[in-house]
Amino acid sequence: MARALEPVLVDAPLQRLWTREHGDVARLVGQTVRGVEAIGKHLLVAIADTHVLRLHMGMRGRLLQAAPDRVWVAWDTSAILVTDARGLVWRNARTVELTKRRDRGRSSALDCLGPDLLATECDIAAVVARARLLPPETALVEVLLDQRIAAGIGNVYKSEVLFLVGVDPRTALAAVDDALLERSYALARTLMQANVRAGPRDTVGVVEPRLGRDLQGRAWVYRRSGQPCRRCGDQVAMVRLGRDARSTYWCATCQPSTKVNRV
């Protein structure tokens, strides 16, 4: 999202800024957007040299674009940003925060994040070291989703990575070695980098380009509950795991609890 919005917003003066907490922020009208960046799942919009708008979409959030005169506040509106050329409306965003700029726009919510897997440089060994600080009984589904360990992995990549490394999602952190963790985070980084571009998400083609070209579906297991596994043909299952009971898709044959397969 940041890459798509950067050419649209940077150097554009604001015609309107509205957030669900502050309403219309009149004092920033006429100020120029200085930058747009993503840190993990957080979108940061720097306004002038004074403020930063931080948004986290969560699972239900979405961004709509319209002509500047075609935006309005609805019951589910989280934020509105309007320039001369574009109107942006965020709906159902989990977090919207407008703060004064400090520490290059980093808020306390960002200070606790682990390394960004989409950053130009990412120390995977440091990520694994952070993971080892978690309780050893923590399930791998929770480890991968923990943004304090590494920022960026969501529900889709969690399921896809665990399938590709061949590990039961309920496996405890203590049951896997550092090499598997390194491989998991490196693979997540590869999948995410390949899908930064516009277009439908494709995790199959990243790993097996020929298979990716042949398939209409673009995921290994995500949202494929009840369908045949792309590798073994057995049925993909879905189970809700973790503190938030997030849906996790997996193949019991390809992801046995006693075997670790390699990509």
Q: What is the CATH number of the domain that holds 190?
A: 1.10.8.50
CATH code: domain of residue 55? 3.20.190.10
Higher-confidence position of 166 and 40: 166
Same domain, 233 and 180: yes
Q: Helix H segments across 116-260?
A: 124-131, 140-145, 155-164, 178-194, 204-207, 209-214
- Residue 73, in any domain of the structure: yes
Is 141 in the same domain as 91?
no
Domain for residue 191, yes or no? yes
216 or 94, which is more confident: 94
CA atoms of 186 and 161, how far apart (whole Å): 10
Same domain, 133 and 169: yes
Q: By the 8 A CB rule, do 156 and 222 touch?
A: yes
Q: Are residues 42 and 160 in the same domain?
A: no
Better-predicted residue by pLDDT, 150 or 5: 150
**Over residues 187-211, mean pLDDT:** 84
Residue 125 banded pLDDT, cuts 50, 70, 90 = very high
- Structural domain total, the chain: 2
Both 152 and 226 in a single domain?
yes
CA distance 180 to 27: 51
Place of tokens 């309780």: 135
A 10 A CB-CB count for 96 gives 19
Q: What is the DSSP letter of 255?
A: S
pLDDT at position 111 is 65
- What local confidence, expressed as pLDDT, does residue 102 receive? 60
Q: Are residues 215 and 137 in the same domain?
A: yes
- Residue 21 domain flag: yes
* For residues 44-69, average pLDDT: 84
Whether 259 is in a domain gets the answer: no
- Identify the band that residue 164 occupies on the pLDDT scale cut at 50, 70 and 90: very high
Tokens of 1: 């999202």
Q: Are residues 43 and 105 in the same domain?
A: yes
Read off the pTM: 0.69
User: Among 89, 111, 133, which residue terminates a domain?
Assistant: 111
Strand, helix or coil at 130?
Answer: helix
Residue of 251, 248, 209, 246 whose CA lies nearest to 228: 251
Please indicate, yes or no, whether residues 81 and 132 belong to a single structural domain of this protein: no
**Residue 220 belongs to some domain of the structure:** yes
- Quick one: pLDDT at residue 105? 44
Is position 158 within any domain? yes
Domain that holds residue 58: 2-111
Q: Is residue 221 part of a domain?
A: yes
**Number of Cβ atoms within 10 Å of the Cβ of 39:** 19
